[in-house]
A and B are shown apart, each in its own frame.
Chain A
Amino acid sequence: MALLALAVLVVLAVAAPFVQRAAPRRAGAILAAPILLLAAGFLAELPAVAGGTFASSSWPWIPDLGIAFALRVDGLALLFAILVCTVGPFSILHAGESLAGHPRLGRFQSTLLCFMAAMLGLVVADDLILLFAFWELTSFTSFLLIGFDRERADARRAALQALLVTGGGGLALLAGLLLLAIAAGTGSGPVFSVQGLLESEALREPAAWPLVGPAIVLVLAGCFAKSAMVPLHFWLPNAMEAPTPVSALLHSSTMVKAGVYLAARLSPALGGIALWDNLLLGFGAVTMLGAAFAASRHSQLKKILAYTTVSSLGLLMLLLGLGAAKAAAAYLLAHALFKGCLFYCAGILTEETHVKYAEKLSGLARLMPMTAVAAILGALSMAGAFPLFGFSGKELALKAELAAGSFGLPLVIATVVTAIFTVLAAVLAGIKPFVGAPPRLDEPSAESHADDRAAGPRDPAWPRLLGPLVLAGAGLVAGLAPGLFAKPMVMSTAASIAGSAVPESPLSALGLLWPPTLATALSIAALVLGIVLFALRGAWRRATDPIAAASAFGPDRRWNAALDGLMATGRLVATLLRGPTLTGAVRGALIAIVAIIGLAAWRAGPRPDLKEAAEGTTLLDGAVVAVLVISAIAAPMVGSRMGTIAVLGGAGAALAAVFLLYGAPDLSMTTIAVETLVVVIASLVAAQLPRIKTISGAAARIRDLGIAASFGLLVGWLALSVAGRSELKPVSDEHVLRSVPEAYGRNVVNVILVDFRALDTLGEIFVLGAAAVGVTAMLGTARRRGATP
């Protein structure tokens, strides 16, 4: 099933631009339908997976290193697979409407589908290297999607920032995964199988700690960069430059959870190790609280949602650090449902009203009732209101923290404060735009009055409405009747995180509300306080301005300075190394070569035997070399272009003669052919080449002559030193011995070129082809310009 789903997504990604062109109006539905079928297929696997039977398959990939293309669908993987295959098609449908008519819509859908394939691959991969490959693919597709509006500088900056942060984290992750693989395979080579890693006992042994300790830090650095933990969180709010479908799919429900996914995936192996738990707890708690505070001060719809997403990711990491598998699984599902829904609703609001700020919106429920239903359900779930599934998620989280004893008390306080901020954010983003006085929108959209938007905001057609309604409905159903799908999902996911089945406990909102516990009381208190805070939000923002100003000097501000600094350093180094002009760069390079290699050759090189080198010289040799040397010396002296070309041709002919005399007829023939061609081509363009001029003064020429002479002497000295050295003889002999028996060729040079080193020759052909294309292109455009000046 997993392989089939991957194949379907890749095929769709390839087909997307063509489908878009063939059926511009229906393309979204055509592309989304097969993926919804995939989602149904994954859902059908749920009972089996909940029962503990996991589909897995494996194909050899790099068998020598024990790396396999291995897939495995357990509870955790299945949860993510279902999320990708349900939220994904909704994004495709949404994009098909909201970006209708965009010239690059086909490519957008294709990239979105590529992302879905990568994300699915990431969660079903059962091999560390395979997992890493998919991980990087998600970063890369995310970069393309954030930067989709490539004309806008903000979008480009955000895309680059996301790529550098998550990509940099990816590097740390790779190092960490390799260390883990080595640590798990004691003496028998690295273990790249994820399942093998989880079952390995070696990771917890003290002997493995020198590897496992750094591995934990590196792996978590990768996870934290991907999942936007403080202080690497800043890229995610900026990534909201992306179109709505991207925000809903990548930056709330799936991709940013890749870090959480990997931490959860490795929990059975590393959970309980103090360093692992404490890093997750510490960074999780700080992120959760800090981002929620930031969210409480924003009023731009997508930014509010972005910061609460960062906060939720923090909570998830924290729960993993506590080892609260069930709470993490439940909150993971709840968050994906309500946040995806809210992102779609925010997108619809902005698209319909052209207003980005929640404070400016109100009373839209009458104009867009369906959107209002979805958004309010989503917001209630986010606020953790009874009886939505968000309530269950938050209850389980609080219960898990309370169960941690005195150690959990600060966490409980942080979570309750976060919950208060989250309620404020949820009400502001999801409820406030729909209630209250009817909207007065003529002000911001004055210029668009003339077109069809004069009719005012209204519910969009089904492709954009389906996603938020389904997700909001799922959140409601999961809270009321978790047995339908939520319970098996959460229990099997929790089993994957814990490494073994977790005990049953109530999951429905009603089951958690009654009998009431301390967690219930805290949850209700947070809800009430959040609403109070919402009412007082103006005063709250004014009161917290000083704190926010103090924290505004964050990584995002420093980001520009850091990038500029990097560029400036690069320019400085470049100027230092090569000077401002090309000529100076060549001069510097020659001087450096002479100085460095000359010194090394003088100190270490063997003294060549001049007598031996002079042996075996015939008169013919002398004549040929004389032609070569005279041509070379004449080259800088001839003043005309044609003359120089003729002289260079003479040097080439002499070279061909040398090759012929010393047993290389192939070389000789090639040289003659190439020299003839060069002379022909050079003669053709000679008249259009610039004239030869003497620009530099006499002093500069004498200085350059000195540099050139020492350069020539050095290379001549090297030639004498290496001539006839036997280090390469075995390589040659091997080729000679294998030529006839293995390649059936009697001319060894030919056999080397077309058989033993055939790939080199292929590369050479590509170089020639590229040169030919370049030549043709430059001749061609010049001609066209000439025709139409």
Chain B
Amino acid sequence: MTLLLACSIAILFAIGGYLLMRRSIVRVVFGLVLLSHGANLLIFTSANLVPLRPPIARAGAPAPEPPFADPLPSALILTAIVIGFGVLSFTLVLVRRAARELRVDDVEELCSERPR
């Protein structure tokens, strides 16, 4: 499975990076989504993959019974997902606003735009 996931990561990063280099501003935003998916998956893969054994202890037990999935990447990714969500919503609204105010959808034009 690690191999499959590594391939997915490669594809997510490649396409995310490709979209990030587009001049159409909406595509840049979509690229961000794919990149954050890829990054989350990369963290997830860095631990040993243990199928279907979440790190939850039974009632009364002092710790989960091994083998169990590594809880640390999960905790990191959980934070990353939520922050990614905040960034994405903000970016979406920002792009919408920029498009309305400046009537520009090309990133390069946007960079040379002077505030009016």
Pick the contact of A621: B1, B50, B53, B69 (CB < 8 A): B1
Q: Count residues on chain A whose CB falls below 8 Å from chain B CBs.
A: 104
Q: How far is the CA of A369 from the CA of B62 in the complex (A)?
A: 87
Given known contacts A655-B37, A767-B86, A771-B87, A617 and B1 CB-to-CB distance under 8 angstroms: yes
Q: Is the CB of A625 within 8 A of B4?
A: yes
Q: Is A666 an interface residue (CB 8 A)?
A: yes
Q: Is A715 an interface residue (CB 8 A)?
A: yes
Given known contacts A625-B7, A636-B18, A655 and B99 CB-to-CB distance under 8 angstroms: no
Q: Is the CB of B90 within 8 A of A774?
A: yes
Q: How far is the CA of A753 from the CA of B50 in the complex (A)?
A: 21
Q: Is A195 an interface residue (CB 8 A)?
A: no
Q: Which residues of B (17-55) have their CB < 8 Å from a CB of A?
A: 17-27, 30, 33-34, 37-38, 40-42, 44-55
Q: Report A-chain residues with C-beta under 8 Å of the C-beta of B51.
A: 616, 661-663
Q: Which residues of A (759-773) have their CB < 8 Å from a CB of B?
A: 760-761, 764, 767-768, 770-772
Q: Is the CB of B72 within 8 A of A670?
A: no
Separation in Å of the A228 CB from the closest CB of chain B? 40
Q: Report A-chain residues with C-beta under 8 Å of the C-beta of B24.
A: 690, 692-695
Q: Report A-chain residues with C-beta under 8 Å of the C-beta of B85.
A: 674, 677-678, 768
Q: Count residues on chain B whose CB falls below 8 Å from chain A CBs.
A: 90
Q: Is the CB of A719 within 8 A of B105?
A: no
Q: Is the CB of B111 within 8 A of A749?
A: no
Q: Report A-chain residues with C-beta under 8 Å of the C-beta of B93.
A: 685, 774-775, 778-779
Q: How far is the CA of A705 from the CA of B55 in the complex (A)?
A: 40
Q: Is the interface of B mostly helix, strand, loop or mixed?
A: helix
Q: Is the CB of B7 within 8 A of A581?
A: no
Q: Is the CB of A685 within 8 A of B96?
A: yes
Q: Is A403 an interface residue (CB 8 A)?
A: no
Q: Is the CB of B4 within 8 A of A617?
A: yes
Q: Is the CB of A735 within 8 A of B37?
A: no
Given known contacts A663-B55, A711-B14, A753 and B4 CB-to-CB distance under 8 angstroms: no
Q: Report A-chain residues with C-beta under 8 Å of the C-beta of B57.
A: 739-740, 746-748
Stretch at the interface among A11-19, A164-172, A535-543, A721-729: A721-729
Q: Is the interface of A mostly helix, strand, loop or mixed?
A: helix
Pick the contact of A691: B13, B83, B105 (CB < 8 A): B105
Pick the contact of A712: B15, B81, B106, B107 (CB < 8 A): B15
Given known contacts A716-B9, A724-B48, A764-B79, A688 and B96 CB-to-CB distance under 8 angstroms: yes
Pick the contact of A713: B14, B58, B107, B112 (CB < 8 A): B14
Stretch at the interface among A267-275, A297-305, A627-635: A627-635
Separation in Å of the A760 CB from the closest CB of chain B? 6
Q: Is A586 an interface residue (CB 8 A)?
A: yes
Which residue among A587, A664, A735 has the maximum number of chain B CB atoms within 10 Å of its CB? A664
Q: Is A696 an interface residue (CB 8 A)?
A: yes
Q: Is the CB of A629 within 8 A of B86?
A: no
Separation in Å of the A712 CB from the closest CB of chain B? 3
Q: Report A-chain residues with C-beta under 8 Å of the C-beta of B56.
A: 746-748
Which residue among B4, B49, B74, B96 has the maximum number of chain A CB atoms within 10 Å of its CB? B74
- Chain B, Cβ-Cβ closest to A777: B93
Pick the contact of B3: A617, A715, A736, A741 (CB < 8 A): A617
Q: Is A583 an interface residue (CB 8 A)?
A: yes
Given known contacts A655-B37, A778-B97, A664 and B44 CB-to-CB distance under 8 angstroms: yes
Q: Report A-chain residues with C-beta under 8 Å of the C-beta of B21.
A: 583, 586-587, 590, 704, 707-708
Contact with A along B71-107 (1 / 0, CB 8 A): 1101101110111111111101111110110001111
Pick the contact of A651: B34, B53, B55, B94 (CB < 8 A): B34
Q: Report B-chain residues with C-beta under 8 Å of the C-beta of A712.
A: 9-15, 17
Which residue among A633, A635, A690, A757 has the maximum number of chain B CB atoms within 10 Å of its CB? A690
Q: Is the CB of A633 within 8 A of B89?
A: no
Q: Is the CB of B74 within 8 A of A778?
A: no
Separation in Å of the A405 CB from the closest CB of chain B? 69
Separation in Å of the B20 CB from the closest CB of chain A? 5
Q: Which residues of A (610-625) have their CB < 8 Å from a CB of B?
A: 610, 612-618, 621-622, 625
Q: Is the CB of B3 within 8 A of A752?
A: no
Q: Is the CB of B7 within 8 A of A690?
A: no
Q: How far is the CA of A691 from the CA of B64 in the complex (A)?
A: 50
Separation in Å of the A595 CB from the closest CB of chain B? 14
Q: Is the CB of A682 within 8 A of B105?
A: no
Q: Is the CB of A583 within 8 A of B74?
A: no
Pick the contact of B54: A665, A694, A696 (CB < 8 A): A665
Q: Report A-chain residues with C-beta under 8 Å of the C-beta of B63.
A: 736-737, 739-740
Q: Is the CB of A635 within 8 A of B30?
A: yes
Q: Is the CB of A719 within 8 A of B45?
A: yes
Given known contacts A692-B24, A728-B72, A719 and B82 CB-to-CB distance under 8 angstroms: no
Q: Report A-chain residues with C-beta under 8 Å of the C-beta of B25.
A: 690
Separation in Å of the B111 CB from the closest CB of chain A? 5
Q: How far is the CA of A716 from the CA of B45 in the complex (A)?
A: 11
Separation in Å of the A682 CB from the closest CB of chain B? 6
Q: How far is the CA of A693 from the CA of B27 in the complex (A)?
A: 9
Q: Is the CB of B92 within 8 A of A689?
A: yes
Given known contacts A663-B55, A748-B64, A581 and B96 CB-to-CB distance under 8 angstroms: no
Separation in Å of the A391 CB from the closest CB of chain B? 62
Given known contacts A613-B3, A712-B11, A775-B89, A670 and B78 CB-to-CB distance under 8 angstroms: yes
Q: Is A502 an interface residue (CB 8 A)?
A: no
Q: How far is the CA of A614 from the CA of B5 in the complex (A)?
A: 10
Pick the contact of A764: B23, B83, B88 (CB < 8 A): B83
Q: How far is the CA of A73 from the CA of B83 in the complex (A)?
A: 51
Pick the contact of B23: A583, A590, A652, A689 (CB < 8 A): A583
Q: How far is the CA of A718 from the CA of B40 in the complex (A)?
A: 14
Q: Is A345 an interface residue (CB 8 A)?
A: no
Q: Is the CB of B17 within 8 A of A652?
A: no
- Chain B, Cβ-Cβ closest to A729: B70
Pick the contact of A671: B18, B81, B86, B89 (CB < 8 A): B81
Q: Is A731 an interface residue (CB 8 A)?
A: yes
Q: Is the CB of A582 within 8 A of B26?
A: no
Q: How far is the CA of A711 from the CA of B39 in the complex (A)?
A: 13
Q: How far is the CA of A749 from the CA of B74 in the complex (A)?
A: 7
Q: How far is the CA of A741 from the CA of B61 in the complex (A)?
A: 10
Q: Report A-chain residues with C-beta under 8 Å of the C-beta of B58.
A: 746
Q: Report B-chain residues with C-beta under 8 Å of the C-beta of A622.
A: 4
Going nearest first, the 8 A-B pairs with the smallest beta carbon separation are A712-B14, A716-B10, A663-B69, A690-B105, A771-B86, A708-B18, A752-B75, A748-B71
Q: 10 A–B contact pairs at CB < 8 A?
A: A581-B108, A581-B112, A662-B1, A663-B69, A707-B18, A713-B10, A740-B61, A748-B71, A753-B75, A771-B86
Can you add 4 more A-B contacts, CB < 8 Å, to A583-B22, A636-B30, A692-B24? Answer: A616-B51, A636-B15, A685-B96, A708-B14
